[in-house]
A and B are shown apart, each in its own frame.
Chain A
């Protein structure tokens, strides 16, 4: 490799580079420490990003809907017909989907059953559900729509039969329910319950989900808290906060390996300066100032950091490609902007650790009296 320009421009760099090649194995091992540290920080950070992006994808679907739930003032903890109408009046143009939810035993065939499954009675499932298999009916009079997670658990497909609370019914579609709940959807008239457990509101195009939630709260809760309408972005805020903590925690774990790498560099640099004590004495004798010695030795530790950091960053990208491919089925998630930040932080940490570890040996060597160093 030709470093002509750099050598000429930065003589300390030249001397540092040559010194590191003197004991390539030792330098390589010291840099390897930094590689491991950087990979630990970057990979864990990037893994947290993958989980976060994945979770955000799920929540973004529910973000476009508003869920209206009974408030403390609701009778029997259910929403009344009047509540549903008032919600509709509060947000003209919105699609209002009342739901009746019950918890009942569900089974399919002899082997597969759930003691308590969430069964949701709904009038217009096509307004907010999408089928991955079969079709979501516009007019829902019979049969059942099964969330993909439930379909997997009960091992049922479209056309097969499911027994809900003792009544057998045919699966019309497997749906992506969105969000985190796994439900079975049945026609609302088949659910025997007074009032509604919740109302799903799909905002009109002129309003965001948050604005809709605020409007409903303001209009219905004038005198008492009839309904509870959480802001849809509340969940994603909580999730994002959780993942920030997770990423910080994982980065902290990764940092431990970088500290170990720092100790190894400290050791290597100390050994190297002790071995080269006479040589450093000669440099001082022929006119190198203390700061020149400091520059050379710090350049050495910085070079170890830069090499370790670069290799570490490349390895981290490869690891992240693999992890994302196998875990979330999207290798390109590696190049998410948030990961770029993680990589830069890991790289900078690597270099700062290296330079930090080189400080004491460099300071010690620079401050030695040349006559003492030459005598050794």
Chain B
């Protein structure tokens, strides 16, 4: 089943008098359970593309569908709700909240939910990424790899159908990167989650089902 369907998407930025075309008509689709990497030089439009799929930004033209539902023209409120229910984010800089423990960080996206199972689910997710003994540790007490694994657990708390990772191994050594990428492979395979990883890291491509190249706002493969 198609998790993401992007049709003829363009994105323009206005900088002063000039118009900059970051994405020049992108067609892309991704099935559930598929793990894809998007590579390309800096400024090629990778992050813009990821932001549009992640409903953090809107395309200038074209359409985006998630799980068969057109999400191109939603209000901010509705977009936020769909984002919360459907998409998990993983960032290069982890972006954990420093005042919260590992477990509280994982619970964060569901903090306003009245759901008794959230706590046990957060513990279970942290155990699964190998941090069962770090539940009460704060981010400054964790290594880079551990922080990224907390971020992965956080991205999974709402059982998303899509995971979007922006340079997930950018701040990790190769051994830790392998652990994280192993985890991505397992999530895609076992939980049928569609994963897109935007990266410069060639190591990532060894784990993905396919690799797409974005150059000057166009997909080249």
Query: Which stretch, A15-23, A105-113, A185-193, A240-248, touches the partner chain B?
Result: A15-23
A284–B51 CB distance below 8 A: no
Contact string against A for B residues 90-105, beta-carbon threshold 8 Å, 1 for contact and 0 otherwise? 0101010111100000
Q: In this complex, which of A18, A282, A284 has the most chain B Cβ atoms within 10 angstroms of its Cβ? A: A282
A287–B77 CB distance below 8 A: no
**A288 at the binding interface (Cβ < 8 Å):** yes
Chain A neighbourhood of B74, CB < 8 A: none
A286–B57 CB distance below 8 A: no
Contact string against B for A residues 202-229, beta-carbon threshold 8 Å, 1 for contact and 0 otherwise? 0000000000000000000000000000
A287–B99 CB distance below 8 A: no
Interface residues of A in 284-302 (CB under 8 A from B): 284-290, 292
The distance in angstroms between the C-alpha atoms of A220 and B80, with both chains bound, is 85
Given A278-B95, A370-B56, A374-B56: A286 in contact with B84 (beta carbons within 8 A): yes
**A11 at the binding interface (Cβ < 8 Å):** yes
Given A371-B56, A374-B56: A287 in contact with B83 (beta carbons within 8 A): yes
A192 CB, nearest partner CB in chain B, Å: 88
**B154 at the binding interface (Cβ < 8 Å):** yes
**B142 at the binding interface (Cβ < 8 Å):** no
A285–B89 CB distance below 8 A: yes
A286–B108 CB distance below 8 A: yes
**A279 at the binding interface (Cβ < 8 Å):** yes
Closest residue to A287 on the B side, CB-wise?
B84
Interface residues of B in 66-91 (CB under 8 A from A): 76-77, 80-81, 83-85, 89, 91
B158–A285 CB distance below 8 A: no
Chain B neighbourhood of A370, CB < 8 A: 56
Chain B neighbourhood of A287, CB < 8 A: 80-81, 83-85, 109, 158
Chain A neighbourhood of B108, CB < 8 A: 283, 286
Interface residues of B in 121-170 (CB under 8 A from A): 154-155, 158
B51–A290 CB distance below 8 A: no
**Cross-interface CB contact of A290 among B57, B76, B89, cutoff 8 Å:** B76
A289–B77 CB distance below 8 A: yes
B27 CB, nearest partner CB in chain A, Å: 22
**B45 at the binding interface (Cβ < 8 Å):** no
Chain B neighbourhood of A285, CB < 8 A: 54, 56, 83, 89
**Cross-interface CB contact of B80 among A15, A22, A284, cutoff 8 Å:** A284
Given A285-B54, A287-B84, A370-B56: A11 in contact with B99 (beta carbons within 8 A): no
The distance in angstroms between the C-alpha atoms of A121 and B37, with both chains bound, is 110
**Cross-interface CB contact of B57 among A11, A278, A279, A371, cutoff 8 Å:** A371
Chain B neighbourhood of A289, CB < 8 A: 77, 80-81
Interface residues of A in 10-48 (CB under 8 A from B): 11, 15, 18-19, 21-22
A11–B109 CB distance below 8 A: no
Closest residue to A22 on the B side, CB-wise?
B99
Closest residue to B94 on the A side, CB-wise?
A282
Chain A neighbourhood of B91, CB < 8 A: 282, 374
Chain B neighbourhood of A286, CB < 8 A: 83-84, 89, 108-109, 154-155
Q: Kindly list 17 other residue pairs between chains A and B, CB separation below 8 angstroms, not including A21-B99, A290-B77, A371-B51.
A: A11-B111, A15-B97, A18-B99, A278-B95, A282-B91, A283-B108, A285-B54, A285-B56, A286-B154, A287-B85, A287-B109, A288-B112, A289-B77, A290-B76, A370-B56, A371-B56, A374-B91
Q: Residues of A with Cβ closer than 8 Å to B? A: 11, 15, 18-19, 21-22, 278-279, 282-290, 292, 369-371, 374
Q: Could you pull out 17 A-B pairs where Cβ atoms are within 8 angstroms?
A: A15-B99, A18-B99, A22-B98, A22-B99, A279-B95, A279-B97, A282-B97, A283-B108, A285-B54, A285-B83, A286-B84, A286-B89, A286-B108, A287-B85, A369-B56, A371-B51, A374-B91
The 9 tightest CB contacts between A and B, nearest first, are A287-B84, A18-B99, A286-B109, A282-B95, A11-B111, A371-B56, A371-B57, A371-B51, A370-B56
